[in-house]
Amino acid sequence: MTTLLPGTEVFARDLRWEVVATESLGAQTLYRLRCLQGDLSGQELDLLSPFEPVAAIRRALRPERAAPLAAWRAYHQAFLLEQALGPDALLVAQPGRLRLEPYQLVPVLRAVRMSRVRLLLADGVGLGKTIQAGLVITELIARRVAHRILIVSPAGPLLEQWRVELAERFGLRMERIDRELLETVRKANELGANPFDSIPLGLVSIDFLKQESVLTQLERASYDVVVIDEAHHCMDLGVAQERADSQRRTLADLLARRSDALLLLTATPHDGNDRSFASLCELLDPSLVDGRGQLRGERYRPFVVRRLKHHITDPATGVPRFRERVVTPCPVIADPARHAAFIALQRGLMAMIAPELRRAFRARQFSDVLAYLALLKRSVSSVAACKETLDVVASRFQRILTEGAESQDSRRQRLRTLREYQRRLDRFGTISAEEEQEQRMLEAEDLAQQLVALDREVRSGARRQAQRASVIDQIEELIGLAAEALSADPKLDQLVAELRAIRAAEPRANVLIYTEYTDSQQAVARAVDRAGLGTVLLMSGEDGATARGEVTERFRSADGLVLVSTDAAAEGLNLQQRCHHLIHLELPFNPNRLEQRNGRIDRFGQTHDPMVRYLYLRATFEERILLRLIAKYERQRARLTFVPNTLGLSAASDLGEARLLEGLMDEDERLFDVAQSRFDFGQPDENAGSDTATRELMEEIDRSLRGFEDAARTNRWLGDLGMNADADQLAAADAARAQGASVSAVDLARFVCDAVRLDGGDVRDMEPTVSELTLPPDWAFGLDDLPGYLPATRQLRVTTDRELTRDGLGNPVGYLGRAHPLVRRALDRVRHRALGGDAQHGQDVRVSAARGPVATPTLLFTFVGRVLSGVGRELERVVGVRCELAGGSGAPIHVTYLPTPEAWLSLAEQKQAIRTTGVYEQHFASWYVQAQAQARAVAEQEFCAGLPTAAFIAERRSELEAERVRQQDWLRARATEICGSPAPSAAVQASLFDLSDAPTPNTVLATGWAALDDPALRLAGFAVDVAQPARARGEADGVLRIYRQRLAALDERAALRPPEVVELGALMVVPV
C-alpha cells in the first residue's frame, strides 16, 4: 500500500480517522491518527501498518463540483506515470539528464523481467555502467519497488562520481555514509535504534562498510536495492584470499542476503579462475552454483550482461559508436648538452640506488628496497618530484642522526603499511589523497633511515663508499644537480613539444595530462604556463568534491584548456565531451592504471578518435621494461578486448619484488646507453631484443596472461561474443521503451509544474527553457544539495534542456527525471486526490469539463485496471470508456472502450478547457448515473476478462512456475551433494516440497532421513543429525533457509488476485 498522506480520511478499528503524521519503518508504516467520530473524537492514536489495517476512505465522484481541466489533466497524468506496465514496457522514457541509447536499456529490461532483480553488469570500461545502474534504479523507483537504496563502491573519487551522477542526471540525493553520519543519526534516534534504518538512500565505501563494528549494524538492516561497484573486489579467491579480501567477501554475502534487488558492476568479471567468476554469480543466486562452488551449466547467462565497445553500433546504420583509440609512444631523449645536469642526476641516483638493489636481491631482503623503488619511479616522472623527495630525505637524515636508531617494531610497522599501500595500488589502481601523502612520507622516512644506517656503516669501515666521505655528501650533491636540472627537464621539454604539435593541428583542443605525483603536476603546470599553450587547470585527490566538480565542469564546457590531474582524481571523471587528447607523463608499473586514465576520454559519447601519448625516457628502465609492459597491455586489450587486473609489476610481495629487482639492479650499467636497440612498440613479440633479466620478467607476465587467454577461449562471452549483447536484445529494449513512452505519454516537467500550482505553489518562467518553482511548505524536504534548489526560499530552478546545467546568470539548474524527489512528491500529492477528500469542501479534481470534437454531449469515464499479488501491483493500466447518447433524453447510450491513453487524452487538450460551472446540470445530470454504471461494466468486461490481461496472468504464472522448478532442481542437486542419494527404504514418503506438512526433525530422524526422497526433508534430517560433521550440517541448514526464503517470495508473487477495475475520474465533453 502506498503511504497515506497527512489529512487523508481512513477507516481503522471500525472508526473514521484523519492521518496526522506518518513514519516509514522499513516494510512497516507508523500512522498517527486523529479520531473523527464517537467518544474518541479528537483523540490521537498510533497504529503500525500492515499489522493493523488502515484503509483509506474513497468517496464517490462529484461531477457537480467539477474542477478546471488543468487539474484533471495533472491528476490523470499522475496515474499514467505510475502504471505497472508489466515486463514488456519501461517507465524510464524520461529518466533524467541524459540521452538514452538502446544498449543502455538492455539491463533495465532484463531487470524488470526477473522475478527478483539480480544482475551482473559486466560491460567494458567506458560503456557507462554507472548510468545503466542509475537507469535500473530509476525504473524500480518508478515501479514503486525501490525505496531503500544502498550504493557500495571503493573509496575515493569513484564515490564522488556516484553522488554527482545520481544527483545531476537522475535527481537522486544520496547520503554519504561514514562514521560521523552514523553517530549523528544514532544520537537523533531512540536508544538502540539502527542508524541504517534512517538512511533510505545511502552511498558508502566498501572498506568502511566491511568493518566488524559497522557490519553488526548493517546485519539488522535491509535494502530494496544494493549496488556493488567494482564487484570483482568481492570475489571469493579461496586459499589465495587475504584478510581484507575475506572481509569484502563477507560484506558482499551479507548485502546479497539483506537486499531484494542486487546489481554487481565490474568490467573484469573473470580473473582467469572460473571459481572466482562463479563466486560473483553465487552472490546473485546461490542456485547458480553447486556445492563445490562451480557453475551449474549455463544457468547464469540470464543474470549477466556483457558488452564491449565493438558491440555498440548505431541501430540504423551498424556503424560503431566508439572511435578507435590511437596510441603513440613518445621517446624522451636526454640531450648531453641541454640536459647535462639531468643526466648527471640520473647517473648519481643509480650510483646510490643500484648497489642497494643488488645487495637486497642477494640477501633476499626485498622490503629494504620499497623506498628506493619509489625514488626511482619519481626520478623518471620529473626533476621536481625527484628533488622534493631528496629534500625530505636530507631533512630527515639530519634529524635521525641526532635522534638515534629507530626500534625494529617501528620499522616493521612502517614496512607493513608501505606494503599494504602498494598492494592496494596494485589491486585498486589508486589510494586516497591522505593515504598518498602518508605513503610519500613513509617512503622518505624509510629511505632516510636506510641511508643513515648506510652512512654509519661507511664511517665505521664496514661498507665502502666510493669517492665521497659520507652519504649525506652524496645526497647534497644530488640535490644540487636536481636544482640545476629543474630548468632543463627532458620530460617537460618533450611534453611541451607534444602540446605544441597538438595546438598546431587543433588550436582550441583541450588536452588532459596525467601524472602520479603532485610535485610533477605543479612542474607541468609551470612549464605549460611558461610556454603559453593554454589555460592550465589542476585536479588532485587533495581537492574537495566542490573544487573537483568546478574544474570538471569548466573543462567540459570550454575550449583551449590543459587539465593536469593526478591518479587520485582519475577515477570517475567523464571528460569525453570536449577532449580527445591524453598524455601520460610517466609509465606506471601497473598498466591497469592506464586503462582508468584512458577511460576518461575513451568512452561513450566521444566523437573523435581518442589520441593517447605515452612519454618514456629513452635508454632507461622506462623503455627497457615499462614500455614493453605497456605494449603487452595494448596488445592484450586489442586481442582479448579486456585487461586483467593482475597484469603488472607488483612490489607488494616478495615474488613481485624479486622480479623487479632482477630487472632493475643493473640499471646503472645500462643508463642512457643509446647503442641499445630502440624498442619497437608495434613489434609482434614484446620480449624480442630484451636482455635476460627483462625477458624473464616479461615471460612471467606472459604466463599469468595465458590463464586469461584460456578463460577467454573457454568463456567466449568475455570477448567477441559478449552476453545478452545481440541485436535482438537491443530491439526488445527499444521496443519496451517505445511502448512505455506511448502508454504514459506525459510531459514530466509540465506535470510537475501543474502539480505545484494545484497544491498552492507557484511557477515562473525565467528563460525559454528555465522555470523557477516556489514549492508548497509540505514539499520542501529532502531536496538539499540537489542542483538548482534554494532552501531559504523553497525555490527550485529547473530546465527542460538536458544539456543546460546553469542559467543565464550562472546559477545551477536541475532537471526533472523520473526518480527526482520532486517528481515522486508530485505523484504522491496528486494521486492522493483519488480518494476524493478535497471534494467534500471544494472542487473535485477527478472531474472536469471540456469542449471537444463531439457531435453530442459525451462522457469519458476513466478507470485503473489492475492485477495485484502478495507483493503489490503486478499490472496496472489506465483505461477509458466513452459514453454518448444515441439520441435525445432517454435514448440508448453508445459505449466505446479505449484501452490506450492516446485514444482519450485528445478529448482533454488544455486549449479545450471551459468553465465547469453548470455543465453537469445542463448536459449530463439526467443520464450520468446510467452511463457511469454501463462504463464500469464495459471496463470490467474488457480489462478483467480481456485477452491481454489473461495473457499477462498466464505468462507471469508460467515464469514463476519455471523459477520454482529451477529452485527445486537446485535443492535436489545440493541435497545429493551434502547428504548423498536417498538410500533404499520402505520409509513413509512425505508430500514432495510440501514444507507445511513437514515432520518435525525428531520424526525425520526416527523414520531415517537418508531414505527420504524429498530433498527438503532429507536436508532437514541431516541438519539435526549430530552424527554428521558440524560444518556439513550448517551447510544443509543454510541451503534449506535459502530455499524456503526463495519459495516464500515466489509464493507471494504467484498469489495473483482476480483482475479488478477502480473508478478514476470523469470528463464531461460538450460539442464545439
* Residue 1054: band (very low, low, confident or very high) from pLDDT cuts 50, 70, 90: very high
Cα–Cα distances (Å) from 827 to 21, 77, 351, 417, 493, in that order, read 18, 9, 73, 52, 60
In this prediction, residues 466-493 reach a mean pLDDT of: 86
Q: Which residues pair with 201 in a beta bridge?
A: 149
In this prediction, residues 621-632 reach a mean pLDDT of: 85
In this prediction, residues 263-273 reach a mean pLDDT of: 87
Listed ranges 593-607, 659-673, 698-712; the one with the highest mean pLDDT:
593-607
* Residue 690: band (very low, low, confident or very high) from pLDDT cuts 50, 70, 90: confident
In this prediction, residues 321-340 reach a mean pLDDT of: 92
pLDDT at 582 over 90: yes
Q: Are 121 and 132 in contact (CB under 8 A)?
A: yes
pLDDT at 175 over 90: yes
pLDDT at 332 over 90: yes
Q: Among 833, 844, 909, which residue's Cα sits nearest to residue 66?
A: 844
pLDDT at 1005 over 60: no
* Residue 458: band (very low, low, confident or very high) from pLDDT cuts 50, 70, 90: confident
In this prediction, residues 229-243 reach a mean pLDDT of: 77
Q: Express each pLDDT in 372-395 by its tens digit.
A: 888 888 999 999 999 999 998 888
Q: Express each pLDDT in 747-782 by its tens digit.
A: 899 999 999 998 899 999 999 999 999 999 889 888
For the residues of 198-229, what is the DSSP string, one character each?
Answer: G-SEEEEEHHHHTSHHHHHHHTT--EEEEEES
In this prediction, residues 439-458 reach a mean pLDDT of: 82
State the burial class of residue 664 (Cβ atoms within 10 Å of its Cβ: 0-12, 13-18, 19+).
buried
**Out of 339-343, 508-512, 704-708, 1047-1051, least confident range:** 704-708
Looking at the chain, the whole-number percentage of residues with pLDDT higher than 90 is 43
Q: Express each pLDDT in 586-601 by its tens digit.
A: 988 777 678 778 888 9
Cell of 331: 621517446
Whole-angstrom Cα distance, residue 1069 to residue 858? 5
Output the pLDDT for position 895. Answer: 95
Domains of the chain (ranges, CATH numbers)? 1-57 (2.30.30.30), 67-85+749-832 (no CATH), 94-307+722-740 (3.40.50.10810), 326-331+488-714 (3.40.50.300), 338-485 (no CATH), 846-1072 (no CATH)
Whole-angstrom Cα distance, residue 269 to residue 232? 6
Which is more confidently placed, 643 or 877? 877
pLDDT at 913 over 90: yes
Q: Express each pLDDT in 527-579 by its tens digit.
A: 999 999 999 999 987 777 778 878 888 998 899 999 999 876 666 678 888 99
Q: Letter for the amino acid at 103?
A: Y
pLDDT at 995 over 50: no
Cα–Cα distances (Å) from 638 to 265, 682, 930, in that order, read 22, 12, 72
Output the pLDDT for position 340. Answer: 95
In this prediction, residues 674-678 reach a mean pLDDT of: 70
pLDDT at 640 over 70: no
In this prediction, residues 638-664 reach a mean pLDDT of: 61
* Residue 990: band (very low, low, confident or very high) from pLDDT cuts 50, 70, 90: very low
Whole-angstrom Cα distance, residue 367 to residue 371? 9
Which is more confidently placed, 382 or 363? 382
Q: Which residues pair with 227 in a beta bridge?
A: 151, 263
Output the pLDDT for position 652. Answer: 46
* Residue 989: band (very low, low, confident or very high) from pLDDT cuts 50, 70, 90: very low
Cα–Cα distances (Å) from 80 to 632, 667, 742, 908, 948, in that order, read 55, 71, 10, 14, 18
Whole-angstrom Cα distance, residue 742 to residue 878? 12
pLDDT at 493 over 70: yes
**Out of 399-413, 620-634, 644-658, 679-693, least confident range:** 644-658
In this prediction, residues 626-638 reach a mean pLDDT of: 80
Whole-angstrom Cα distance, residue 128 to residue 602? 11
Output the pLDDT for position 992. Answer: 43
Q: How high is the mean pLDDT of the chain?
A: 86
**Out of 136-140, 370-374, 747-751, 812-816, least confident range:** 370-374
pLDDT at 436 over 50: yes
In this prediction, residues 10-31 reach a mean pLDDT of: 79
Residues 6+ apart with CB under 8 A from 263: 117, 119, 121, 133, 136, 225, 226, 227, 228
DSSP state letter for 55: E
pLDDT at 657 over 50: yes
pLDDT at 889 over 70: no
For 349-363, b/e burial (b = at least 16 CB within 10 A) is: bbbbbbbbbbbbbee
Q: Among 824, 744, 783, which residue's Cα sits nearest to residue 3?
A: 824
Cα–Cα distances (Å) from 792 to 612, 789, 805, in that order, read 47, 9, 21
* Residue 991: band (very low, low, confident or very high) from pLDDT cuts 50, 70, 90: very low
pLDDT at 838 over 90: no
Output the pLDDT for position 465. Answer: 52
For 679-703, b/e burial (b = at least 16 CB within 10 A) is: bebeeeebbebbeebbbebbeebee
